[in-house]
Structure 1
Amino acid sequence: MLTFYHAPNSRSTSIRQLIHELGAGDEIKTVEVTIPRQDGSGGRDPANPHPEGKVPYLVEDEDFVRERAAIVLYLTDRFPAAGLGRPVGDPKRGRYLSWLTWYQGVFEPVAILSWAEVDHPAIKASLRDYDTAIQRLDEVLSQQPYLLGDDYSAADLLCAGPFAWFGDQLPSTPAIRDWVARCLDRDSVRATGER
């Protein structure tokens, strides 16, 4: 059985929502753990096997998966009938993989750095900048309702997360705000009761 380590109202909330979207709650055991929080509360939980005490963390037998994009890919490949991923051979598989890794490697870092008001030429040269990332999202979402076209996918769930979490603190565009509203208007979001 798969075991998912989760701390409410953290990065693992998106994986909790994904599990609901996949209809896989009966096949994945969720273990709630504590984590250190930015406000100084919480702490590392000895019940959490993640080597850094982070969440999300997914374990199956002797194997594990960490980092949200990897967990999203693992679960959508594992539960393809839900249609939230794009399987090998699908004509949008490359786009799907690109959005997952773009989120993890580009967007989340530049969103956090922008929110924290950290700016340096090396950041822009290596990661890009927040405005460029927003421009890319806006270009796509001005043409279609979701990142891969007409249908919601796990890429939308992952990439819309920071806008849901930070709200108006992250500048966006009307097309992005409309997309985020669509992504938040889902049973999985309501079922978790977490932002």
Structure 2
Amino acid sequence: MLTLYHAPKSRSSSILVLLDELGIRDKVDIRTVTIPRQDGSGGRDPANPHPEGKVPYLVNGEDWVRERGAVVLYLTDMFPEAGLGPLPGDPRRGQYLSWLSWYQGVLEPVAILSFFRIEHPALTATLRDYDTALQRLDEVLSGQPYLLGGDLSAADLLVAGLFLYFGESMPRTPAVDAWARRIQSRPSMARAAEGDG
């Protein structure tokens, strides 16, 4: 059985949404652990096998997966019947992989830097800036409802999480806002929030 180490109201909450969307919540043992929080509360949980005490951390027998993009890819490949992640050979596979990697390698870092008003030319040259990242999203979402076209994918769930977590404090365009609201209105979001207490 799959085991997910999860901390309520953290980055791993997006994986609870994915489990729901995949229809596999009953196939995963969800173990709640504590993590250090930005406000100083919480702490590293000795029951969490993640080497840095973070979440999400997915275990499958002897195998394990960490980092949300990797967990999303692992689960959508493992449970393709839900249609949330294009498989190898699908003409949208490259786009799917790119959005998963872009989220973790570009969008989340520049959003955090922007939120805390940290600027440096080396960071902008390496990662881009928040406005540029937002423009990339807007270019796509102005012409289609989801990142890969007309249908929801797990990439939407991952990338939209930034706007749902930070709420109105993250600037967004009308197209990005409408897309984030579509994601937020999904029943899986309400169930994950309810499960998080």
Shorter-chain TM-score: which interval? over 0.9
In structure 2, what is the Cα distance between the partners aligned to 1:9 and 1:105?
Answer: 22
Code of the aligned partner of 2:77: D
Corresponding residue for 2:68? 68
Corresponding residue for 1:77? 77
> C-alpha offsets along residues 118-163 of structure 1, whole Å, 9 cap, x if unaligned?
0000001001110000000000000000000000110000000010
In structure 1, what is the Cα distance between the partners aligned to 2:114 and 2:59?
Answer: 33
In structure 2, what is the Cα distance between the partners aligned to 1:61 and 1:127?
Answer: 36
Unaligned runs of 5+ in 1: none
In structure 2, what is the Cα distance between the partners aligned to 1:10 and 1:84?
Answer: 22
Corresponding residue for 1:9? 9
In structure 1, what is the Cα distance between the partners aligned to 2:24 and 2:72?
Answer: 13
Question: What are the within-5 Å matches in structure 2 for residues 161-180 of structure 1?
Answer: 161-180=161-180
Question: What are the within-5 Å matches in structure 2 for residues 68-147 of structure 1?
Answer: 68-147=68-147
TM-score by structure 1 length?
Answer: 0.98
Shift of 1:88: 0.8
Equivalenced residues, count = 195
Shift of 1:190: 0.9
TM-score by structure 2 length?
Answer: 0.97
Shift of 1:63: 1.0
Unaligned runs of 5+ in 2: none
In structure 1, what is the Cα distance between the partners aligned to 2:65 and 2:125?
Answer: 30
In structure 1, what is the Cα distance between the partners aligned to 2:126 and 2:55?
Answer: 26
Code of the aligned partner of 1:106: V
Corresponding residue for 2:187? 187
Shift of 1:173: 0.3
Shift of 1:25: 1.1
Code of the aligned partner of 1:102: W
User: Which ranges of 4 or more aligned residues in structure 1 deviate by more than 3 Å?
Assistant: none
